[in-house]
Amino acid sequence: MKFMIKHILLIALTVSCFSCKKTSEAKSKSTNSNSNEVIQLDLDLSDTGIKIQPTMYGVFFEDINFAADGGLYAEMVKNRSFEFLLPKMGWKEPNSNTHSHNTDSGFLNPMQYSGENTNHRFARVTVKGSKYALINEGYRGMGIKKDAKYNLTLDAKKVSGDISKINIQLIDTLQNVLGETYIIPEKNTWKNYEAQLTASKTEAHAQLKLTFEGKGEIDLDMISLFPEDTWKGRKKGLRKDLVQLLSDLNPGFLRFPGGCIVEGRTLERRYQWKKTVGDIEDREVLVNRWNTEFMHKFTPDYYQSFGIGFFEYFQLFEDLGAEPLPILSCGIACQFNTGELVSMKDLDPYVQDALDLIEFANGDTSTKWGKLRTEMGHPKPFNLKYIGIGNEQWGEVYIERYKVFHEAIKAKYPDIIIVSGSGPFPDGDQFEYGWEQLKQMNAEIVDEHYYKSPEWFLENAGRYDSYDRKGPKVFAGEYAAHPKEVEDGPKENNWQGALAEAAFMTGLERNADVVTLTSYAPLMAHIDAFQWAPDLIWFNNLEAYGTVNYQVQKLFSTNAGTDVLSITENGKPLIGQHQIYASVVKDVHSNELIFKIVNSGTNHQNIIISPKGNKLSGEGSISTLQSDDLSTNNDFDNPEKIVLKTNQIKISDGKIQIELKPQSLNLVKIKI
């Protein structure tokens, strides 16, 4: 299994490779010598006819590494509705009767609703004395900031006795109180209560503590705590700093909700969008498929609350001005796991899910699903244009299922663009087979995935130069350079990988007539709870930063331009000659030429760019991401170790003369 192999290898390397790591870091240090040669490049200012699509640079979002629950979704209480397989997971009762036989305390019993609730459980708390406390540990703690406000809500129902007050406190790991409030439970029927706490101190690993006054039994459910300060101030909304990092990327699209999470390890555990819309309390909690995927990254407390469901995703894309690109199950569970298949005769409900999703996003208020969207607060359609069928599926089983979806969607919604998949690997028999079949079907966009070494990325900068111009378009839907000989975690993000991705991206940009959507993967990771590295953004309970790979993505996505031009040496695209990789676009809105040029070597390089049949004049700028140390990454202490540094450049005799620093990505901008 690909995941297993990768991670077993990593453990072995971590244990045995300390000395070789040091050597490789030393080797990566630049000699900073100047190459004497001046490299002459030709710039053709005439129109290539290749447009950069507004979707060119997007993001891939999956709830892996605590990216949604524990991350983007700002809920701070883990297992708020006691639905985990172990209903008390995330909750502690330090003095409970069951633990200490303390009769001045109490205990919690998970209970089952008698009706047909989708979330089946609640907690019955029996209070016998003042020593009883119920503590939620949060997602590896709760991040609270001094003077910030936190909104608590819970459902409660008095059952017996005289419980007159629920005290609510934020505490640190030494039990110091960092904020408090209370609720007066009133009724013997379910009622929702609200209270607010203000934090007196900043703490990354706070916990939420409930104590009770009086004695008796009380039922509790949906115990929830959110910062008041969320993205756009939405109640029970998203973590502001994380959305801001996404917004700064100016993404053209957002692919969601995965990834393997779409497929599920079994069909029963696949992602079903219909279970993620409507009232939050009614969204059925599901075990996250990354929960126990890697034995060395065991996260049995990883569940999907679906607090971010399809409605919230669509709302986020609208905020970001990005096209939504949902990927749906095609009736095959993850083929690295069970590979369970729905039989062809039972495929209809899966196809119907896809059709209904389009109606949910685009249908008017009179339609069943358009009405639900309206009731959720968005009467205007979300204007969905793309839908993906299947994630990393392969073989005949995929093709025959995909065909059914394709025909049904096109019959009802001919304008919806369908994304199909070519499997988990960028080459090999299954990849070739998938592409061949999809071509024959006139598939519109084929998703390709590559998690490969930096060397592979450099070697493949010309990958799309030879792709069939008349075939389907390409969605580079998941990619990341995985440097070897690095420790697991944020260190897997390093300048070596980022620079190789940048070199590869010049090839994507040059071939924007074939490659119309691209996204790095995965997007986010919680430093204390990740399963997969490298990732684009790292966060803890208080802070987040963009990796060096993020800086590369940002450089490309915020300087996408509109029209591809041609830059060559002796008539050939720059795909590694002199260790240089380059692409150039024109931006018709800002009237600029925008070059992205990578020098992957350890020498300075002098280049002269001569425009064909025309002269340039005036001034321009060169902004550089650079490090002499390939093992460098940004981190929490130094989130801007590698960021763009800008200098002016002069244009003399109509030519652009620049010096490229070693191991650098350069953004050159010239007003036309």
Smallest distance, ligand AHR to C-beta of residue 89, A: 24
Please enumerate in sequence order all residues whose Cβ is within 8 A of that of 334, keeping only pairs 6 or more positions apart, or say none: 260, 263, 264, 265, 289, 392
What's the min distance (Å) between Cβ of 449 and ligand AHR? Answer: 6
What is the nearest approach in angstroms of ligand AHR to the Cβ of residue 7? 12
Closest distance of CB 291 from ligand AHR, Å: 13
**Helix, strand, coil tally for the chain in percent (to 5):** 25, 35, 40
Binding mask 405-424 for ligand AHR (x = CB under 6 A): -------------------x
The closest alpha carbon to 583, from 571, 570, 594, belongs to 594
Length of the chain measured in residues: 672
For the segment 327-386, give every residue that binds ligand AHR (CB under 6 A): none
Check residue 392 for interaction with ligand AHR (CB under 6 A).
yes
Q: Are 177 and 207 in contact (CB under 8 A)?
A: no
Q: Which of 87, 258, 331, 561 binds ligand AHR (CB under 6 A)?
A: 258
Q: Is 392 a catalytic residue?
A: yes
What is the Cα–Cα distance from 370 to 384, expressed in whole angstroms? 12
Does an H or E element contain 263, and which?
helix 260-263
- Contact track, ligand AHR, 28-47, x by CB under 6 A: --------------------
Q: Which stretch binds ligand AHR (CB under 6 A): 163-171, 253-261, 404-412, 604-612?
A: 253-261
Closest to ligand AHR by CB, 327 vs 660, is 327
Tell me which residue has tokens 């590295």: 533
Helix axes 348-362, 396-412, angle to 10 degrees: 40
Inter-residue contact 235 to 151 (CB < 8 Å): yes
DSSP 8-state class, residue 282 = G
- Dist. CA 177–CA 206, nearest whole Å: 9
**Does position 259 bind ligand AHR by CB under 6 A?**
yes
Is-contact 519 286, C-beta < 8 A? no
Tell me whether residue 309 or residue 388 sits nearer to ligand AHR (CB atom). 388
Cβ at position 63, least distance to ligand AHR in Å: 10
- Active-site hit among 392, 478, 509, 592: 392
Contact indicator for 541, 574 with CB cutoff of 8 Å: no
**In angstroms, what is the C-alpha Rg of the chain?**
27
> How many CA atoms are closer than 13 Å to the CA of 335, on its beta-carbon side?
18
Diameter over CA atoms, the chain: 92
Residue 534 binds ligand AHR (CB under 6 A): no
The least CB distance from residue 532 to ligand AHR, in Å, is 5
- Terminal CA-CA length for the chain: 52
CB of 451 to ligand AHR, least distance (A): 7
d(CA 639, CA 241): 13
Closest-CA residue to 532 (of 44, 163, 63): 63
Min CB(260)–ligand AHR separation in Å = 4
Residue with Cβ nearer ligand AHR (292 or 568): 292
Whole-number minimum distance, CB 660 to ligand AHR, in Å? 32
Stretch that binds ligand AHR, among 28-36, 213-221, 254-262, 375-383 (CB under 6 A): 254-262
- 111: tokens are 């209970």
Would you say 260 or 574 has its CB closer to ligand AHR? 260
Q: Is 149 helix (H, G, I), strand (E, B) or coil?
A: strand
Is 476 or 593 the residue whose CB approaches ligand AHR more closely?
476
Asked if omega into 428 is within 30° of 0 (cis), the reply is: no
Helix (H), strand (E) at residue 348: helix 348-362
Among 304, 315, 391, 634, binds ligand AHR (CB under 6 A): 391
Of 472 and 534, the one with the shorter C-beta distance to ligand AHR is 534
Q: Which helix (H) or strand (E) holds 313?
A: helix 310-320
Least Cβ distance, residue 266 to ligand AHR (angstroms) = 16
Name which of residues 539 to 558 contact ligand AHR (CB under 6 A): none
x/- binding map, residues 53-92, to ligand AHR, per CB under 6 A? ---------x-x----------------------------
Site string for ligand AHR, 622-661 (x = CB under 6 A): ----------------------------------------
119 vs 420 by CB, closer to ligand AHR: 420
Q: How many residues bind ligand AHR (CB under 6 A)?
A: 12
- Least distance to ligand AHR, CB of residue 392, Å: 5
The site map against ligand AHR for 470-499 (x = CB under 6 A) is --------x---------------------
Q: Distance (Å, rounded) from C-alpha 198 to C-alpha 208?
A: 13
Q: Which of 132, 212, 520, 532 binds ligand AHR (CB under 6 A)?
A: 532
Residue nearest ligand AHR, Cβ-based = 259
Separation CA 295–CA 531 (nearest Å): 10
Kindly tell me which of 372 and 500 has the beta carbon lying closer to ligand AHR: 500
Stretch that binds ligand AHR, among 94-102, 256-264, 372-380, 655-663 (CB under 6 A): 256-264
- Listed in sequence order, the residues at least 6 apart from 368 whose beta carbon sits closer than 8 Å to its beta carbon are 356, 359
| Local structure of 267: helix, strand or coil | helix
Q: Whose Cβ is closer to ligand AHR: residue 259's or residue 363's?
A: 259
Are the C-beta atoms of residues 203 and 211 closer than 8 Å to each other?
no
CA pair distance 124, 38, nearest whole angstrom:
77
Task: Name which of 80 and 270 has its Cβ closer to ligand AHR.
Answer: 270
Q: Is 442 left (phi over 0), alpha (psi -120 to 50) or beta?
A: left
Q: What is the DSSP string of 62-120?
A: -S-TTSTBTTTB----TTTTS-SSSTTTTEE-TT-HHHH--TTSEEEEEEE-SS--SS-
Q: How far is the CB of 486 from ligand AHR (least distance, A)?
A: 18
Region binding ligand AHR by CB under 6 A among candidate stretches 74-82, 133-141, 252-260, 398-406: 252-260
Q: Which stretch binds ligand AHR (CB under 6 A): 161-169, 186-194, 255-263, 426-434?
A: 255-263
Active site residues: 392
Interacting residues toward ligand AHR by CB under 6 A: 62, 64, 258-260, 391-392, 424, 478, 521-522, 532
